[in-house]
């Protein structure tokens, strides 16, 4: 069974007491089956992103 580790990212402004929230950083610890499924999902997402990015660029030019 996999699990997720979460860290909060902050940046210091003026002094150590004053910290501005920036976001979250996640790390996945997955087993082999979960890693395989995640790779498929990320691959599909990457394909869709690149497809529509290319479409957008071709429309602009």
Q: For 38-57, write each residue's pLDDT tens digit.
A: 899 999 999 999 999 999 99
The yes-or-no verdict on residue 58 having pLDDT over 70 is: yes
With beta carbons less than 8 A apart as the criterion, state whether 20 and 11 touch.
yes
Closest by CA to 23, choosing from 5, 9, 4, is 9
Q: Containing H/E element for 54?
A: helix 32-60
End-to-end CA distance of the chain: 48
CB-facing half-sphere around the CA of 47: CA atoms within 13 A: 6
pLDDT of 8-30, one tens digit each?
655 545 555 666 666 777 787 88
> Which pLDDT band, with edges at 50, 70 and 90, does 59 fall under?
very high
Q: Domain residues of the chain, as ranges?
A: 3-60
């Amino acid at each position: 069974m996999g699990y997720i580790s979460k860290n909060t990212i902050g940046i210091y402004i003026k002094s150590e007491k004053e910290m501005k929230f920036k976001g979250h950083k996640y790390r996945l610890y997955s087993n082999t089956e979960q890693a395989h499924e995640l790779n498929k999902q990320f691959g599909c997402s990457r394909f869709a992103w690149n497809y529509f990015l290319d479409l957008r660029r071709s429309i602009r030019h």
